[in-house]
């Protein structure tokens, strides 16, 4: 009897395992919508907000709805990735031409609708929170007839509820009503554009995952909002992720990222990153493994000659900017990969990998398994976060960690340096990397321990700076740093293009060589002409912190 039960049990396990493996494979049939660039509150926002909320619900159980954005949308990869899904995953997409047809196809995913108040921007975030919790779609007043036509029932109506209230009052009320039921591993900081244009393209992901949406300030001068913001962050589980982006005009990226780093949380942006509710349901294609364009082994020893070595890095997340611009592949270039996409968007990482040229080299960052400022990470959280980062870097065959701490910087200028104890922590956490790079704007943190250098950017290429001046700036750095070899690490802001860099390199003076980042670091390990330096107590501080 026991044997029969055992065999039956094993069969049941096998069948359920087979069924669950079937459900993990995304459907080959999906639908696609094409968005335009109109996200104005008076124009295209209402319909887009409704569709992304519908997308979050439609994609909750399986990957069904994907959105393609125009080529000049900030995330330029939606079209190439759409092609990738068709080509590599065999997805057969059916075009949905308008909101009416989208509702017709996916209305069964929603139990009803919630109405937001177009005169109160924050009400849209409250509506998205309700949408996730109640399986509702988000509509503004003028869309009510349309959703009623499809038989959807009202679930909540925010019109008038928050008129005249501050954002702190609105979110205080929303926390009272909804926070207890929201996801405690993920939260949606749906900030970014505010006012006449809002761009909540990431809302599908927040709705799918039942996140709390807000755009509370991290600025100490907004004390009421900051208190609520801190309360939410304190309530999250350890190592949670803050999705979205800080609210423009309310606080700064530096304040927002510093605040979440103080809680050991990870940032994953931007607020307009689309399609995570779809992308998260795919694995890498069978047999695919990441193989970086490594030029050296971990134990390779190189010897630098008496010349100037340059290396170029783009760190503004690989999905935006230079990748799709002309000239990629003509110069060695390092790309900071958003490592968390291994979990949320593996197809995108596979797409980048397959479209990489031999000159494209991937590195880990920013600062850890998400965007965070390491000078501010609690010391008891740091090793755990870096273990997570190491695991992701292992999957992605990455051997260089990029660090950025702008907590006291002023945008892309000012102090970006690491305290000595932060540098110590990185060296301890990453014994098996080729090296570290640091900064966003230029920095002064330099070190070399055993064979692992830590090099800060000596130059940041502002995309608006005339190329002739960029050339003169680099030539001036070469003159000022007289010792040879000189290791000149350059950060390329996302909206530059590689062709213009070729012209610049051609006009640099002296014995110059542009090297891939891993080679550059190995050379930097061979002859330490840079001065060891960490952040000093009297270095300029723009934001004094909390």
Partner 1 sequence: MVALLLPLIVIAAESDFEGRWRLDIERSSALDGWSAMDLLITINGSEVEIGHDMRWRRTTRIVERNVVDTAAPTQIENFFRIEQRHMGVYPSRNSLAAAQASWIDEGRTLRTEVDVSVEVSQGDSRMRIYSEYRVGEGGETLTLIELHSTRNNPLVYRFRKLANDDNSRP
Q: How far is the CB of 542 from partner 1 (least distance, A)?
A: 7
Q: Are strands 447-449 and 452-456 parallel, antiparallel or unpaired?
A: antiparallel
* Residue 518 φ then ψ, to 5°: -65, -40
Instruction: Pick from 476, 503, 510, 546 the residue near partner 1 by CB under 8 A.
Output: 476
- Nearest approach, Cβ of residue 473 and partner 1 (Å): 5
Q: Which of 141, 469, 502, 503 binds partner 1 (CB under 8 A)?
A: 469
Q: Does 344 interact with partner 1 (rule: CB under 8 A)?
A: no
Q: How far is the CB of 446 from partner 1 (least distance, A)?
A: 6
438 contacts partner 1 (rule: CB under 8 A):
no
Q: Residue with structure tokens 């000596």?
A: 458
Determine, following the binding rule CB under 8 A, whether residue 542 of this chain makes contact with partner 1. Answer: yes
Closest residue by Cα to residue 396 from 348, 353, 444, 454: 353
Burial class (CB in 10 A: 0-12, 13-18, 19+), 286: exposed
Residue number, 225 or 417, with CB nearest to partner 1: 417
Collapsing DSSP to helix, strand or coil, 45 comes out as helix
Per CB under 8 A, the list member of 61, 283, 468, 503 interacting with partner 1 is 468
Q: Which run of H or of E encompasses 121?
A: none
Distance of CA 121 to the CA centre of its chain: 24
* Residue 482: CB minimum distance to partner 1, A: 7
* 3-state DSSP assignment of residue 378: coil
Cα 58 to Cα 94, 199, 204, 208: the distances in Å are: 15, 20, 9, 8
> E strand or H helix at 73, and its extent?
none
The structure tokens 């962050």 sit at 233
Is residue 460 a contact residue for partner 1 (CB under 8 A)?
yes
Q: Which is nearer to partner 1, 33 or 418 (CB)?
A: 418
Name 487's bridge partners.
Answer: 309
Q: Which of 384, 413, 505, 512 binds partner 1 (CB under 8 A)?
A: 413
Q: Between residues 282 and 457, which has the closer beta carbon with respect to partner 1?
A: 457
User: Based on the number of CB atoms within 10 Å of its own CB, is 306 exposed (0-12), middle (13-18) or buried (19 or more)?
Assistant: exposed
CA distances from 508 to 310, 476, 513 (A): 11, 10, 10
Residue 125 or residue 407: which is nearer to partner 1 going by CB? 407
359 near partner 1, judged by CB under 8 A: no
Residue 472 makes contact with partner 1 by CB under 8 A = yes
Q: Confirm or reject binding of residue 141 to partner 1 (CB under 8 A).
A: no
The answer to whether 369 contacts partner 1 (rule: CB under 8 A) is no
Among 31, 245, 486, 520, binds partner 1 (CB under 8 A): 486
Residue 309's DSSP bridge partners are 487, 513
| Strands of 151-212, DSSP E | 153-157, 186-192
CB of 458 to partner 1, least distance (A): 4
By three-state DSSP, how is residue 138 classified? strand
- Does 529 help bind partner 1 (rule: CB under 8 A)? yes
d(CA 300, CA 294): 11
The tokens describing 228, both together, are 């609520």
Residue keyed to tokens 């660039």: 37
Q: According to the binding rule CB under 8 A, does residue 309 interact with partner 1?
A: no
Beta-ladder partners of 464: none
Q: How far is the CB of 459 from partner 1 (least distance, A)?
A: 6
Rule CB under 8 A: is residue 477 a binding residue for partner 1? yes
CB of 445 to partner 1, least distance (A): 10
The span of 158-166, 202-210, 358-366, 480-488 binding partner 1 (CB under 8 A) equals 480-488
| Residue 266 near residue 369, CB atoms below 8 Å | yes
The 487-526 site mask, x for binding partner 1 (CB under 8 A), equals: x---------------------------------------
479 binds partner 1 (CB under 8 A): yes
Which of 6-14, 260-268, 327-335, 479-487 is the region at the interface with partner 1 (rule: CB under 8 A)?
479-487
Which span (186-194, 304-312, 358-366, 476-484) binds partner 1, by CB under 8 A?
Answer: 476-484
CA 178, distance to chain mean position in Å, is: 26
Cβ proximity to partner 1: between 174 and 455 the closer is 455
Candidate residues 4, 22, 480, 537; the one interacting with partner 1 per rule CB under 8 A: 480
Beta bridge partners of 66: 32
Residue 531 contacts partner 1 per CB under 8 A = yes
Considering only the stretches 158-166, 183-191, 208-216, 452-460, report the one whose residues sit in contact with partner 1 under the rule CB under 8 A: 452-460
Return the number of the residue (483 or 544) whose C-beta is nearest partner 1.
483
Query: Could you tell me if residue 108 is left (phi over 0), alpha (psi between -120 and 50 degrees) or otherwise beta?
Result: alpha
Q: Candidates 60-68, 287-295, 331-339, 460-468: pick the segment binding partner 1 (CB under 8 A).
A: 460-468
Please work out the total of residues on this chain that contact partner 1, with binding judged by CB under 8 A.
39
Q: Are 497 and 293 in contact (CB under 8 A)?
A: no
| 189 in Cβ contact with 265 (< 8 Å) | no
Euclidean distance between CA atoms 448 and 227, whole angstroms: 41
The arrangement of strands across the sheet holding 400-403 comes to: 400-403, 435-438, 452-456, 447-449
Residues numbered 227 to 286 that lie near partner 1 (CB under 8 A) are 252
Task: Return the residue of 274, 346, 443, 516 that touches partner 1, per CB under 8 A.
Answer: 443
Stretch that binds partner 1, among 34-42, 263-271, 396-404, 408-416 (CB under 8 A): 408-416
From the list 239, 293, 300, 412, which residue makes contact with partner 1 (rule: CB under 8 A)?
Answer: 412
Q: At what angle do helices 223-235 and 253-262 cross, to 10 degrees?
A: 40
C-beta closer to partner 1: residue 127 or 404: 404
Q: What is the largest CA-CA distance in the chain?
A: 86
For residue 212, state whether it binds partner 1 (rule: CB under 8 A): no
Q: Which residues contact partner 1 (rule: CB under 8 A)?
A: 252, 410-414, 441-444, 446, 456-462, 464-466, 468-469, 472-473, 475-477, 479-483, 486-487, 529-531, 542
């Amino acid at each position: 009897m026991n044997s029969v039960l055992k065999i039956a049990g094993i069969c049941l396990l096998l069948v359920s395992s087979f069924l669950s493996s079937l459900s993990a494979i995304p459907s080959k049939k999906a639908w696609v919508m094409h968005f335009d660039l109109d996200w104005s509150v008076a124009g295209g926002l209402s319909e887009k907000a409704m569709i992304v909320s519908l997308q979050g619900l439609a994609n909750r159980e399986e990957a069904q709805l994907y959105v393609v954005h125009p080529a000049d949308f900030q995330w330029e990869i939606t079209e190439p990735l759409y092609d990738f899904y068709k080509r590599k995953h065999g997805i057969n997409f059916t075009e949905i031409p308008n909101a009416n047809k989208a509702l017709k196809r996916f209305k069964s995913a929603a139990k009803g609708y919630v109405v937001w108040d177009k005169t109160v921007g924050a009400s849209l975030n409250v509506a998205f929170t309700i949408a996730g919790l109640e399986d509702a779609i988000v509509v503004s007043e003028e869309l009510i007839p349309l959703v009623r036509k499809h038989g959807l029932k009202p679930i909540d109506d925010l019109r008038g509820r928050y008129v005249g209230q501050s954002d702190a009052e609105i979110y205080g009320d929303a926390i009272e009503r909804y926070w207890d039921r929201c996801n405690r591993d993920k939260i949606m900081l749906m900030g970014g554009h505010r006012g006449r244009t809002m761009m909540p393209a990431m809302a599908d992901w927040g709705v799918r995952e039942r996140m709390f949406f807000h755009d509370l300030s991290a600025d100490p001068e907004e004390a009421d909002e900051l208190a609520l913001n801190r309360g939410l962050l304190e309530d999250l589980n350890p190592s949670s992720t803050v999705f979205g982006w800080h609210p423009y005009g309310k606080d700064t990226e530096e304040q927002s990222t510093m605040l979440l780093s103080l809680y050991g949380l990870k940032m994953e942006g931007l607020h307009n990153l689309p399609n995570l509710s779809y992308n998260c349901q795919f694995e890498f294609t069978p047999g695919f493994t990441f193989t970086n364009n490594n030029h050296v082994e971990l134990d390779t020893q190189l010897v630098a000659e008496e010349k100037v070595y340059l290396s170029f890095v783009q760190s503004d997340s690989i999905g935006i900017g230079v990748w799709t611009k002309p000239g990629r592949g003509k110069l060695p270039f390092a790309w900071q990969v958003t490592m968390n996409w291994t979990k949320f968007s593996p197809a995108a990482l596979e797409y980048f990998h397959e479209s990489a040229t031999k000159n494209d080299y991937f590195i880990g960052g920013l600062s850890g398994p998400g965007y965070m400022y390491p000078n501010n990470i609690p010391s008891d959280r740091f090793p755990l976060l870096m273990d997570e980062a190491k695991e992701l870097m292992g999957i992605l065959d990455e051997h260089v960690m990029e660090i950025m701490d702008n907590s006291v910087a002023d945008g892309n200028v000012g102090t970006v340096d690491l305290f000595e104890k932060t540098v110590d922590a990185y060296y301890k956490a990453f014994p098996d990397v080729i090296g570290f790079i640091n900064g966003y704007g230029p920095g002064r943190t330099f070190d070399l321990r055993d064979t692992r250098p830590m090099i800060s950017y000596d130059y940041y290429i502002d995309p608006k700076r005339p190329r002739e001046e960029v050339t003169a700036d680099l030539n001036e750095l070469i003159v000022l740093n007289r010792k040879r070899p000189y290791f000149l690490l350059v950060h390329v802001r996302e909206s530059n293009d590689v062709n213009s860099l070729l012209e610049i390199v051609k006009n640099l003076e002296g014995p110059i060589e542009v090297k891939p980042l891993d080679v550059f670091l190995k050379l930097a390990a061979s002859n330490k002409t840079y001065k060891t330096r960490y952040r000093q107590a009297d270095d300029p501080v723009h934001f004094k912190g909390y």
